[in-house]
Amino acid sequence: MKGDKALKFLWGTFTTMGAIIVIIGLIVFFSVCNYKNKVDTVGIIIDTGNGTTVSYNVDGKEHESSFSGYSSSFHVGDEIEIYYDKDDVNKIGSKSLDLVYLILPGIGSIFLLIGVIGLAFLLHKKKKEKNLRENGELVYATYSETILNVNVRVNGRYPYNIIVEWNNPEDGKKYLLKSKNIYFNPEMLIEERNIKTFPVYINPNNKKQYFVDVDILNEDVVDLT
């Protein structure tokens, strides 16, 4: 149904965008923070006015240089762990501040995780419906009403749920069953087609596991929205 396609597109977008952000973030991190040619040392902070200026020793010779990073914990006179480039000792940095480059892949990972979880949920739901169709007990439940599901919103629209009633001959109890989300109002179709009952597939071992089949509503319906 349209709603499932919209959700699949949404979670797929999250997954794709998350993966792209993670890849770009890691490329930036490893290109900027390539430590193969860098030597760790300790410097003394001598200025924090424009970035961070540090005094440090390389092979017995004193050097002063700056990097753009800054932390509120930095104070003039403090020792700080830094690194310098073997080929250009005036190029320095701080590994602790380089971690800021992991923010981008971190954000991407969140998007990626949300998308993967969403897609996994849709796949699980499809497998559950297929299993109930193949192995569940088929019954026919009487149409009761159509309700608006205000707990879910996709593309600015609330979906509908069909409520049906089923009298269980085994225990004589009446069960109210709810369909999955439908992203158009089915009331007119139900009235026009004089639909009185809907097929329901129920797990005979667990009545809470069921699937209300509303495929009849999609027959000959063209959604141009």
Query: What SS3 class is residue 163?
Result: strand
Question: Does the pLDDT value for residue 223 go beyond 80?
Answer: no
Cα end-to-end distance, the chain, whole Å: 13
pTM: 0.66
Any idea where the domains of the chain sit in the sequence? 10-104, 136-225
User: How far, in Å, CA of 169 to CA of 32, rounded?
Assistant: 70
In degrees and rounded to multiples of 5, residue 171 shows phi and psi of -115, 0
Contacts of 198 (CB under 8 A, 6+ apart): 140, 141, 143, 162, 164, 179, 212, 213, 214, 216
Angstrom CA distances, 89 to 25, 39, 40, 61, 83, stand at: 27, 9, 11, 11, 9
| 45-101 per-position pLDDT tens digit | 999 888 899 999 999 999 999 988 788 888 999 999 999 999 899 999 888 888 888
